[in-house]
Amino acid sequence: MANPEKLAYYIALSLIPGIGCINAKKLFAYMGSVEAIFEAGQKHFQKVPGIGSVLGQSIIEHRDLDRGKRELDFLQKYKIQTSLYWDDNYPARLKRCVDAPLVLFAKGNLNWNAERIVAIVGTRNATDYGKKVCDELVSAMAERGGYVVVSGLAYGIDSAAHKACLQHGVSTWAVLAHGLDKIYPALHRSLAEKMLGQGGLVTDFISETDIERQNFLRRNRIVAGLADATIVVESAEKGGALVTADIAGSYNRDVFAVPGRSSDTFSRGCNELIRDNKACLIQGLEDLELFMGWQAKPDKAPKIQKQLFVELSNEEQTVFDALSADSIYIDQLCQLVQMPMGKVSALLLNLEFNGLVASLPGKMYRKN
């Protein structure tokens, strides 16, 4: 657990409306510490870029350190793990998301830096076909090893994915839309308890949080942000799984969908994702691994001959100069070179053909 003296302040700060990691960074840069934020007056907040008088007044009205301390007592009593956005133990994949939570709460055995993390989501009205797809995907993951499955503990596809993981020995995480003082739906309490030994429970909500619809939509961003890729197994034309897919796409994460018959209500959402080029079609784990570059490599893979003299365009040179021997995610590279994802992807492909760049799993690249 983070430093208890400061953790209560961070928890209280995370409860203030309008204060996410972006505004929190601005406040820390100006105020110097989290404690100073709770002592500052309106005149101080007006000087912080992006905060202003309206948000400053909201901070003054909603900063409740006593609630943070009460939550700290709950965390200590039930031995709940916490990860602050600035801590080394914060999930690296989630930290790259613009709306990552300030504080993350977890219980169980969770390896944030697992090799391959995949979100499996879908309708609450799962069909036998959808449940079979979940079982086949997870069974194949168990054979390969190194996988973690993330979902939302809801009825339908979510619970089917979690149950398949428990059956086949794959680590699985459930992201909750409430605090760790309850389980919703209550019928999944036994399932959640079993997951603690083979994964765990994750949330950014404090205890005593009411079960509200908007919290489930907020929960979906963490499901997408924790994963390298999101698979939509079944969905109607509207649903939370499609929201998760959209969020994953906004994070520059790969999205996949399992196709179904056009007449099947709970395949229409998946078919539309594929039709609209918002998701890649997959029929099994082999397809996922092919798209992600996760296939098992031969012991002596042929090396691309690096050309001695390569003429690069100005844009190719800019991208190449931004790379190093250390791997970097493509979304981070886009920020460095100030180019859109499509442009950078095309430039990287040319550099890879010339033997100058190596493509790694999870949309990571480095110089050869």
| DSSP SS3 for 202 | strand
Torsional class of 190: left (φ above 0), alpha (ψ -120 to 50), beta (otherwise): alpha
Could you tell me if 145 and 272 lie in one domain?
A: yes
pTM: 0.83
Q: Which residue has the tokens 């969908």?
A: 257
Could you tell me if 346 and 220 lie in one domain?
A: no
d(CA 332, CA 364): 9
Give the per-residue pLDDT at 302.
Answer: 52
Domain count of the fold of the chain: 3
Q: Is residue 93 part of a domain?
A: no
Q: Is residue 34 part of a domain?
A: yes
- Domain extent at residue 211: 107-292
Q: Is residue 278 part of a domain?
A: yes
* 8 HSE (CA, 13 A, CB side): 16
Q: Is residue 303 part of a domain?
A: no
H/E element, 203: strand 199-203
Q: Kindly tell me the burial class for residue 116, based on how many C-beta atoms sit within 10 Å of its own C-beta (0-12, 13-18, 19 or more).
A: buried
Q: Is residue 90 part of a domain?
A: no
Could you tell me if 281 and 144 lie in one domain?
A: yes
CATH number of domain containing 10? 1.10.150.20
Q: Is residue 101 part of a domain?
A: no
Is residue 178 pLDDT above 50, yes or no?
yes
At 60, the pLDDT band (50, 70, 90 cuts) reads: very high
Could you tell me if 240 and 361 lie in one domain?
A: no
Could you tell me if 340 and 196 lie in one domain?
A: no
Could you tell me if 282 and 204 lie in one domain?
A: yes
Give the per-residue pLDDT at 301.
Answer: 47
Could you tell me if 288 and 318 lie in one domain?
A: no
Residue-wise pLDDT for 330-368, tens only, equals 878 888 888 876 688 889 988 988 889 988 876 789 998
Could you tell me if 324 and 360 lie in one domain?
A: yes
Q: Do the beta carbons of residue 126 and residue 137 sit within 8 Å? A: no
CATH number of domain containing 336? 1.10.10.10
Q: Is residue 96 part of a domain?
A: no
Between 302 and 199, whose confidence is greater?
199
Share of the chain above pLDDT 90, in %: 71
Q: Which residue has the tokens 């697992």?
A: 114
Could you tell me if 257 and 335 lie in one domain?
A: no
CA distances from 195 to 157, 164, 231 (A): 16, 11, 20
Could you tell me if 270 and 129 lie in one domain?
A: yes
| DSSP SS3 for 270 | helix
Helix 213-226, helix 240-250: angle, nearest 10: 40
| Mean pLDDT for the chain overall | 91
CATH number of domain containing 252? 3.40.50.450
Residue-wise pLDDT for 299-333, tens only, equals 544 555 555 557 889 999 999 999 988 889 887 88
d(CA 108, CA 20): 26
Residue-wise pLDDT for 142-167, tens only, equals 999 999 999 999 999 999 999 999 99
Q: Is residue 100 part of a domain?
A: no
Could you tell me if 36 and 169 lie in one domain?
A: no
Could you tell me if 131 and 270 lie in one domain?
A: yes
